[in-house]
Amino acid sequence: MLPPRLSNAILRHGDNAHVWHPFTPMPAYEDEQAPIIESGKGFELIDTQGRHYLDGTSSLWCNVHGHRVFAIDQAIRDQLDRIGHSTLLGLSSVPSIELACRLVRIVPRGLTRVFYSDSGATAVEAALKIAVQFHRQRRSGASERTLFAAVADGYHGDTVGSVSVGRVPRFHAMYDRLLFPTRMVPNPGQPSVGWAGTRDAWEAHCLTELERVIAAERDQLAAFILEPLVQGAAGILVHSPHYLRQAREITSRHGVLLIADEVAVGFGRTGTMFACEQAGIVPDLLCLAKGLTGGYLPLAATLCTDEIEEAFRGAPQEGRTFYHGHTYTGNPLGCAAAVASLDMFQNNRVLDQVAANTRVLEEELAPLANHPHVAEVRQQGVLVGIELVQDRDARSPFPAARRTGHRVTLAARRLGAIIRPIGDVVTLVPAPAMPSELVRQLCHVAREAIDEAVA
């Protein structure tokens, strides 16, 4: 039996008085009476007043199988009957070993070492440090490389290192002086203003620029980092598998490591278990989080090849150790949830559901192609970005103060769904396992909310 909870009024006061929400303008938030979520069931969130909302963001792109899923709940309970947490610093745990073995079997072949952390940002931070230390300690051709290349408008988290390689101006301009230099290359998913050529020509231009930057600074570059196929926080900007294949070829030829940040795009969201599969490539380092535990608990992993890990091997006195870690690294509860989630991918044929949902999204959002205030609908798998503009022909934006994307959020709530925009790009990110009829319902809400918001 659940204990009695505080009244909605007391919770609202406590929220406004004490909880500082991320990426949230607090004065506006406090005026909006945003839902206070108390529970969830299936693919719905339920607030303290009993209202139900379709989870259209999969709880910030991490939920996979829904809420209160018996198999994952039970895996966590079973692990609690054993132990809630023990350290991986000098010890190991059964769930961390089980999960590592499972991951190595499903990621691109050749990624055999698993370093655990807590979130997408920490997975990236670990990858950056591994890349620098690898070059310094490699058995042949050791070198001092501390420079990174990255895709412009990419997003890799909010720690200092991850921001340095993933600068989104509206999020990170305040911290410029804290960040280390990074060579930014053009984003293949977004032609620059004034580009008159085709998208294919733009992507070819981006590859030429990538080759130029890497060739010019190959002796200083530790790695090139990108989000495979989709730059999510940039507004669901999509590039082709061809770009990814060519990026792998260029980095390999110049001896620069490739870091694939699949924190947001992994675990089925692009149509395959991992986005790299669609290009048939193996990165040197792969960053995973979000959907790793099915969206239940904070857990992340940075995977690498034997070649990279070998550079860290040696007697203790050699100082080759990777001195990096987190208190809750490889938390047994998170690892147990992740193993259960991977079982569900297989048992419930989740990737088949992703394929079905991809088609539903394409069909239901097709009418927006001619909407006077929609510049573009971008989609890869079950990741969708709907870019809103004041004038479609001129592609002129709405005034920022109008917060048109946020108006869609408010309208969607009234219609029974949670949707979160990126600026004036409305994102739809249904959980990969969401039933198709609920995906169809989400699309109907989104279209109605857009019409209301732009009116």
Q: Quickly state the pLDDT bin for 41 (edges 50, 70, 90).
A: very high
Contact criterion met (CB below 8 Å) for 427 and 419? yes
Q: What average pLDDT score do residues 63-92 get?
A: 97
**Cα–Cα distance between 288 and 260 in angstroms, integer?**
9
Give me the pLDDT at residue 417, please.
Answer: 98
pTM above 0.75, yes or no: yes
Q: What average pLDDT score do residues 318-333 get?
A: 96
pLDDT in tens, 388-406: 999 998 889 999 999 999 9
Structure tokens, 86: 């023990």
User: Among 3-12, 180-189, 272-281, 416-425, whose mean pLDDT is lowest?
Assistant: 3-12
Give me the pLDDT at residue 3, please.
Answer: 67
Closest CA to 295 of 80, 40, 11: 40
Which residues, in sequence order, are bridge partners of residue 396? 391
Contacts of 422 (CB under 8 A, 6+ apart): 233, 234, 235, 236, 385, 405
Phi-psi domain of 390 (left: phi exceeds 0; alpha: psi -120 through 50; beta: other): alpha
Give me the pLDDT at residue 173, please.
Answer: 85
Q: What average pLDDT score do residues 70-88 get?
A: 98
Matching residue, tokens 């890869």: 380
* Dihedral angle over CA of 87, 91, 96, 101, nearest 10: 160
Rounded-to-5 percentages of helix, strand, coil across the chain: 45, 20, 40
Which domains are present in the chain? Answer: 35-65+349-454 (3.90.1150.10), 73-347 (3.40.640.10)
**Cα–Cα distance between 73 and 338 in angstroms, integer?**
11
Q: Can you give the length of the chain in residues?
A: 455
pLDDT of 2 > 80? The answer is: no
pLDDT in tens, 103-112: 999 999 999 9
pLDDT in tens, 368-391: 999 999 999 999 999 999 999 999
User: Among 28-42, 164-178, 369-383, whose mean pLDDT is lowest?
Assistant: 164-178
Contact criterion met (CB below 8 Å) for 82 and 332? yes
Give me the pLDDT at residue 152, please.
Answer: 95
pLDDT of 1 > 70? The answer is: no
Q: What average pLDDT score do residues 110-135 get?
A: 98
Give me the pLDDT at residue 214, please.
Answer: 98
